[in-house]
Structure 1
Amino acid sequence: MARYHQYLLLTVFLAAAGKSADAQQTKATPYYPTHAEVLQNYKAADALDSALKKVPYVTNVRPNWQTGSNQFWYSKRIANNQTAYIVVEPEKGTKKIIFESGQLTAEVSKATGKPVKDGGFRIEDMFLSADKKQATFKTGNTWLKCDLGTLQCSKTTDTVHQSYDNDKPLQVRHYRWEGITADSVSPDKQWSAFVKGGNIIVKSLKGSTEIKLTTDGNLDKPYGELTWSPDSKHLVGYRIDPKKTKEVYYLLSSVPGTTRAVLKSHEYDQPGDEFTSYQQYIFNIADKSAIKTDAEKIDFFGAPQLHWRDGNSRYFTYEKADRGHQRFRVIEVDVTNGKTRNIIDEKTNTFIYEQRIYTYYSAKTHEIVWVTEKDGWRHIYLVDELTGKEKLVTKGDWVVRDVDSVDVKKRQIWFKGSGNNEGEDPYFMHYYRIGFDGKNLTDLTPEKGNHSVTFSPDRKYYIDTYSEVNIAPKIVIKNTADLKTVMELEHTDLTGLLATGAKLPEVFVAKARDGKTDIWGVVYRPANMDPNKSYPVIENIYAGPQDSFVPKSFSVVNEMQSIAQLGFIVVQMDGMGTANRSKAFHDVCWHNLADAGFADRILWMQALAAKYPQVDISRIGVYGTSAGGQNSAGALLFHPEFYKAAVSACGCHDNRIDKQWWNEQWMGYPVGPHYEQQSNITNAGKLQGDLMLIVGEADNNVPPESTFRFADALIKNNKMFDLLVVPGMGHSDGGPYGRKKKRDFFVKHLLNAEPPARNTDELAHN
């Protein structure tokens, strides 16, 4: 509450400035529909949802590259719920439809022996003959071969072909939460290493020699996680101190065929839980000696992946992220004496976002490509392994979002970034390449918009899809060598979509709590909005610090648009504390998840109301799921002067109850008093406004007890609320039933209207 009042004067100033600048605005009348109007709104919303789903527009192209060539096919929806299948030859700059689904209805029905509605079959896989005169495809469990001249089809067993996975990364990554694959056989194929009774045994594969490298291991504290050196002379292993992961429980109340609830449990680390630790050792096969390296125990994550230098078995490096996420190192180990050296040693007073640490090791050149936020923005560094010298490759007030690939031969890095293109939404994704020396930064996607790129198998071509939330996608294929557009694949005409009456969302920008930083969001309005009326606002909230969440690409069919049709203005924005901006922007979340960017969100909505008289911020609702469930409930606890109604689904209402890896990343370790102070459960007595809680009883992401404990605290504080428990449901917003309840809840509490009497099917009879 105190934090909000710090920005109140700024808020009043911004609101007054907005009204002064738009003195011509007329005051709108608050929209309070009659029950009959509510029923019509529900019907109109359903009708619009149905109409939108029938409008054919293309938002992406998924290429199916043909073996040994740069030809590919893709499918797209066309009129009358049909699908067109198109072949593209980039070398010739041509594309053509080979058939539409409706043309094969009779053939597919005859070949499969099953009735098929007009074009109503799905092709799961397909490949073309070399001369492109035949297509072999799979529908259901049946493979058919189709003559593309006559369009006659027959069953076939000739289905062997190679396919290319567009989603497979060019360079495979190892994530720190994944365990390593322990070596068994030495690289020279002379030895096999294994653990028996907690001790390490090395056995000759050429004879009967067996070496026991340790004797002090046991089943309680075994050795393990073994890795051979490239020359097979050393074995790296760990003395392990295992800690059993504790379990969480839930009840399945309604299992068919039972008369008792079924108790379920699963392993689940929570903040503060103890982890298994690993002490690193190096074993010499020739003299059977063991050296404990001078590195401290690894007590966070598991045994690390080792990186050996090319042609050198003396040194290896590994990564260590300390628990609490405030230190990250790349550590070099000398196998001859166990001495260690920090090649990279990053420390911070807040957090290092562990899941976005990127490292690529060039064994031949002894270089590490490393992505970090150490200069205040997420950028690429090149590190010399031998000297530890760092060189900044990318720089500026923008963000490297991800590395696509590293080309050591050409000394180029291919990556995705945002915020580097002037005059654009700073979240728009673009694709770049740059030299190791930081020169020749090239934007592969210079057109304004949010881009998504896929490459051909030989990377000679790439397909670029770009759009904005209210501008239709344009899909082109480009030549990687000169970046020139080879041809346009798709560019959706929105005439049919706009004919449904749908309103495209508006992008809206307002200043954050600091009065300088831009906060970006979107606004959805009812299709039949009366400009002389003012409408309640509903915020779709998710303030999880792991990403940003406002949609940036074109899509009309979504829940926000659908809810708006009932008589609301629905908004979403990314406040401070979320990712993909500066480190300072992100750091707001540190030890501070209850903040949830509310100070920025409130200012943003007040600025929206200052510009548009149709925006009624005296009636603000909010809904969210998971971390968004925590945020939406928190809105009524910490900012009841602004938010009036909230729907909270499967919320992590206390960060001590939720998963360890997510919460310690942002709230820190060890678990301090701030965890309790910011808990919705601790603050349940502060509830004002109308609250609905939704939880699935089988949630194995956020334990259901998080919601039940919050409900318990609300009851003990004599607070009134609604609770929906969905039997058998996992981590969800409540599914179709829960979404109906959510809409009805907001209609009742923000529009002061009675929602449809669903048990009598009132909607169908009016």
Structure 2
Amino acid sequence: MKRSIALAALWAASAAAAPPALTGEDYARAEKLLDYRLRGTIKNARIEPQWLADGRFWYRCDGEQGPEYVLVDPAARGRQPLFDPPRLHAAMRAVVPAAAAPQPLAVEADGDALRLRLRGDGERELDCELREYRCQAMPARSDPLALVSPDGARAVFVRDHNLWLRDLRSGAERALTRDGEPHYGYGTLPDFALRAVPSRQGRWRAPPFALRWSPDGRRLFGTRFDERRVQPYPMVAMAPADGFRPKVYDVRLSLLGDAESVRDEWYAVDVDSAAADGAAVRRIAIPLGWNNVAEADVLGWSGDGRRAYAAIARYDRPARMRLVEVDLDRGVLREVLEERSDTRIQLNDYLYSRPAVRILAARNRAVWFSERDGWGHLYLVDLGDGRVLRRLTRGDWLVRDLVGVDEARGELYFTAGGREPGDPYQRRLYRASLDGGEPVLLTPEAADHAVDPGASAILGGAPKQWLSPNGDYVVDSYSTLDAPPRAVLRSTRDGAVVMELERADASVAYAAGWRPPQRVRLKAADGRSDIYATVFLPPGYSADDAQPKQYPIIDGFYGGPQITNAPVALADAVAATNPVSRASLAALGFVVVTIDARGTPGRAQAFHDASFGPFADPQIDDHVAAIRQLAERYPGLDLDRVGVYGHSFGGYASTRAILRRPEFYRVAVSSAGSHNYQGMYGGGVHGLERLLAGPPVYGESGPRRPAPDAVPDNYRALDNASLADRLRGKLLLVYGDLDENALPATTVQLTAALIRADKDFDLLYLPNQDHELFRNDAYYTRRMWDYFVRHLMGSEPPRDYRLQQPAKPGL
């Protein structure tokens, strides 16, 4: 009887100490802050100028009633509407009655007036002059599956694995190549691009892949990928929408250590002389053991358009990268220079950004990015013999992006981090002389200045042009975590603001309850290196409370070596790329932190190289050290309740965190994790070895797998399965069965190890889902929230709450 009373008292005490169950209203408030709910709600978050030949530019902005178009004359310091919308719409409908509201595709100066090319009714476009507002219909030229020539007169597209040319005036078509075949086509999307399943399903179509026009429009230069020898990798849809028999998609994907991986070669097409037999197609071999650098694309052209400049690499030890000149007429290569590294070698510290390289054909020079002195800097090299003529930048700071070069003035423009006091992840814009000397700061504001040339070619999209054609002006958009972006037109002479263009409006996000996170500088586990974190605090948190409430902590982990993830600007914090859900989890009562630790880019090469080999392990130690420091600065952070979550590389790192540091991390939710690397893709074209630990080493067998179950010596310790017996906390593993980025088998292989170790874990399998599940699957999001609420907060989630499913973008 006494024991029953004691147990009842204990249960009563536990119930009193447990936080109250969360309600549907709590989840509804958090749902309003989801990244996909707030994406696109910040009006005028980014202004992109479209320059005219006469120095004016136009841009699209978010008006009160919808899109508006503005014409700016920098010389006159003037701005006006690009056109009269009702008048232009009436002129459009007079020719094409079904024409929608004006959406300019291109604008050209026509004397004192302007000519616009606009969307019509699908099959037709409209050419409209704005002096008299008269329009005429023309065949549609804006085919998203075609690559238009520089003069806009013709376009190349893919049909049956071959290239075809279409005359955009007459509509006539003719084949440029004839020997394309499956897995060895021209301009076709290779399977290693990780869109094979939606392509097979007809949900993904793209313009010609890895193909560029010469500036004069006479030649095409592209990369052809041979995947015919690559062993098929099965992707299995277990619950297809159109039946009960599982569907298998055989994707040509090589794994680390495979004897055969994708091969690449270049080709050139003389478009004007291409005969019916394809004689004008020239194959250009890449040296044996070398591969085209996919993210580099074409780096530039000679003045006559007969030679292209590109980068090739091989990632053995040391890793080597070459700048080469490709003679398109003769089909031969000439090495210009070679760069070497014992670890990674890249043309931008951020892999997904455009190479910080520019070919200066008129000067026979190149601006070249190198980390040869331990920091990413720019060098002027001679294209004739590869000699470094001079350094253009130097110091303990990093060049982020090469924005442009004014060859006539002998000047270049670049962004950098860490040259000015303060946060080294905030970008500033500079001007420098090709003759050398100290750079000139053009953006004095302590903020992140988003003047970047856009994503690398491997991610698609045209480069962005922020500089005016004459080099006198630049459009700059800058922001901090608590200040929405402000777009201005600056003089490139002294950085003075010539005109304010737009101020972004984040009122929708604020009305939804979004609160700016805080930026914090901390020390890494080595006690010396500065690392930075962005902290999302729960509503009502106050450091001044005499007895602060205790808050559980969630570490939003990514940790990939190619990008940073702790935002420094408002738009990135409102709707992040990865990890998502930080503001929502904070709204539920967690302190959520994202940390850019040693091993991520954006700093010195040594800082970045900390992850080359051990990958996530140094970062995990840095995260633990950082969170302990945060608990000293922010009263109420409960170090006995620390969780971690992540997706992709973050799925790997979050699982590894709870396995490697079980005394610190109590709960983990890991989605689409690459839990081992012997089961991930490899090879010189697209393999992960260039990022993680170099080519696989199998003892005396070298880089080729000697047996099906052999694990490379230099990747064995990175396998999360090797730590399976260390699991003590709560782990939820999540994967989609059609994920080509983080192969589902690596998650299942980890579950096999956990079962062998007799460990309890949770598994969420999402049928017909790909790698985007963490952004497009409300069920996953709700389950992730529930898991942390139940196992880290110690509360109960609402029983019947369902999150609204986001609209999936069209593929």
- Superimposed CA distance per residue, residues 385-418 of structure 1 (whole angstroms, 9 cap, x where no aligned partner): 5665433221000111222334444333332221
For 2:19, the equivalent position in structure 1 comes to 33
SS at match of 2:616: helix
Distance 1:527 1:86, change over 3 A: farther
Match of 1:696 among 733, 736, 741: 736
Q: Say whether the 8 Å CA contact 1:277–1:302 is kept in structure 2.
A: no
For 1:369, the equivalent position in structure 2 comes to 367
For residue 516 of structure 1, what is the amino acid of its counterpart?
R
Q: How does 1:349-428 map to 2 (within 5 A)?
A: 349-353=342-346, 359-362=357-360, 365-384=363-382, 389-390=387-388, 391-422=390-421, 424-428=422-426
For 1:321, the equivalent position in structure 2 comes to 313
For 1:466, the equivalent position in structure 2 comes to 478
Deviates more, 1:82-91 or 1:370-379: 82-91
SS at match of 1:600: helix
Distance 1:746 1:100, change over 3 A: farther
Q: Say whether the 8 Å CA contact 1:84–1:99 is kept in structure 2.
A: no
Question: How many Å separate the matches in 2 of 1:344 and 1:54?
Answer: 43
Question: How many Å separate the matches in 2 of 1:579 and 1:334?
Answer: 31
Q: How does 1:668-683 map to 2 (within 5 A)?
A: 668-671=694-697, 672-683=712-723
Q: How does 1:639-658 map to 2 (within 5 A)?
A: 639-658=661-680
For 2:693, the equivalent position in structure 1 comes to 667
| Bigger Rg, which one | 1
Distance 1:160 1:501, change over 3 A: same
Question: How many Å separate the matches in 1 of 2:300 and 2:56?
Answer: 35
Match of 2:48 among 48, 62, 66: 62
Question: How many Å separate the matches in 2 of 1:761 and 1:319?
Answer: 47
Q: Please, which runs of 5 or more residues in structure 1 have no aligned partner?
A: 1-29, 171-180, 183-192, 197-239, 281-294
For 1:247, the equivalent position in structure 2 comes to 232
Q: Say whether the 8 Å CA contact 1:326–1:351 is kept in structure 2.
A: no
For 1:347, the equivalent position in structure 2 comes to 340
For 1:223, the equivalent position in structure 2 comes to none
State yes or no: 1:717 paired with 2:757. Answer: yes
SS at match of 1:533: coil
Deviation at 1:677, TM superposition (A): 1.7
For 1:174, the equivalent position in structure 2 comes to none
Q: Say whether the 8 Å CA contact 1:696–1:732 is kept in structure 2.
A: no
Match of 1:750 among 786, 789, 792: 792
Deviation at 1:523, TM superposition (A): 0.8
Q: How does 1:492-641 map to 2 (within 5 A)?
A: 492=504, 498=510, 501-529=513-541, 531=545, 532-555=548-571, 557-558=574-575, 559-595=581-617, 597-641=619-663
Distance 1:161 1:596, change over 3 A: farther
Deviates more, 1:462-471 or 1:576-585: 462-471
Q: Matched residue pairs, number?
A: 645
Distance 1:643 1:733, change over 3 A: farther
- Superimposed CA distance per residue, residues 479-534 of structure 1 (whole angstroms, 9 cap, x where no aligned partner): 33553322112234667765654321111111112222211111112224465312
State yes or no: 1:74 paired with 2:86. Answer: no
SS at match of 1:597: helix
State yes or no: 1:491 paired with 2:503. Answer: yes
Identity rate, percent = 29
Q: Say whether the 8 Å CA contact 2:92–2:135 is kept in structure 1.
A: no
Deviation at 1:101, TM superposition (A): 9.5
For 2:242, the equivalent position in structure 1 comes to 257
Question: How many Å separate the matches in 1 of 2:301 and 2:558?
Answer: 42
Question: How many Å separate the matches in 1 of 2:287 and 2:42?
Answer: 59
Deviation at 1:607, TM superposition (A): 1.0
Question: How many Å separate the matches in 1 of 2:114 and 2:383?
Answer: 55
- Superimposed CA distance per residue, residues 62-115 of structure 1 (whole angstroms, 9 cap, x where no aligned partner): 33456755141422154xx75555443333323356899999999999999999
State yes or no: 1:297 paired with 2:313. Answer: no
Deviates more, 1:136-145 or 1:584-593: 136-145
Q: Say whether the 8 Å CA contact 1:538–1:623 is kept in structure 2.
A: yes
Question: How many Å separate the matches in 2 of 1:392 and 1:413?
Answer: 13
Q: Say whether the 8 Å CA contact 2:89–2:102 is kept in structure 1.
A: no
Distance 1:85 1:322, change over 3 A: closer
Distance 1:305 1:562, change over 3 A: closer
For 1:89, the equivalent position in structure 2 comes to 73
Deviation at 1:445, TM superposition (A): 2.3
Deviation at 1:629, TM superposition (A): 0.6
Question: How many Å separate the matches in 2 of 1:109 and 1:748?
Answer: 59
Question: How many Å separate the matches in 1 of 2:779 and 2:493?
Answer: 52
SS at match of 2:413: strand
Deviates more, 1:489-498 or 1:365-374: 489-498
Q: Say whether the 8 Å CA contact 1:31–1:751 is kept in structure 2.
A: no
Question: How many Å separate the matches in 2 of 1:44 and 1:279?
Answer: 53
Distance 1:529 1:39, change over 3 A: farther
Question: How many Å separate the matches in 1 of 2:418 and 2:722?
Answer: 39
For residue 552 of structure 1, what is the amino acid of its counterpart?
V
Match of 2:427 among 426, 429, 435: 429
- Superimposed CA distance per residue, residues 330-349 of structure 1 (whole angstroms, 9 cap, x where no aligned partner): 488999xxx99976444333
Question: How many Å separate the matches in 1 of 2:475 and 2:738?
Answer: 41
Q: How does 1:197-276 map to 2 (within 5 A)?
A: 244-274=229-259, 275=261
SS at match of 1:682: helix
Distance 1:395 1:114, change over 3 A: same
Deviation at 1:60, TM superposition (A): 1.7
Q: Please, which runs of 5 or more residues in structure 2 have no aligned partner?
A: 1-15, 151-161, 164-175, 180-224, 267-285, 350-354, 452-465, 576-580, 698-711, 805-811
Deviation at 1:455, TM superposition (A): 2.8
Question: How many Å separate the matches in 2 of 1:679 and 1:385?
Answer: 44
SS at match of 1:681: helix
Distance 1:716 1:726, change over 3 A: same
SS at match of 1:328: strand
SS at match of 1:465: strand
Deviation at 1:560, TM superposition (A): 1.2
SS at match of 2:535: strand
For residue 690 of structure 1, what is the amino acid of its counterpart?
K
Q: Say whether the 8 Å CA contact 1:640–1:687 is kept in structure 2.
A: yes
Deviation at 1:298, TM superposition (A): 3.0
Q: Say whether the 8 Å CA contact 1:86–1:98 is kept in structure 2.
A: yes
For residue 590 of structure 2, what is the amino acid of its counterpart?
F
Deviation at 1:443, TM superposition (A): 2.5
For 1:203, the equivalent position in structure 2 comes to none
Question: How many Å separate the matches in 1 of 2:364 and 2:115?
Answer: 50
Question: How many Å separate the matches in 1 of 2:53 and 2:309?
Answer: 38
Distance 1:637 1:480, change over 3 A: same
Q: Say whether the 8 Å CA contact 1:31–1:535 is kept in structure 2.
A: no
Match of 1:447 among 445, 453, 456: 445
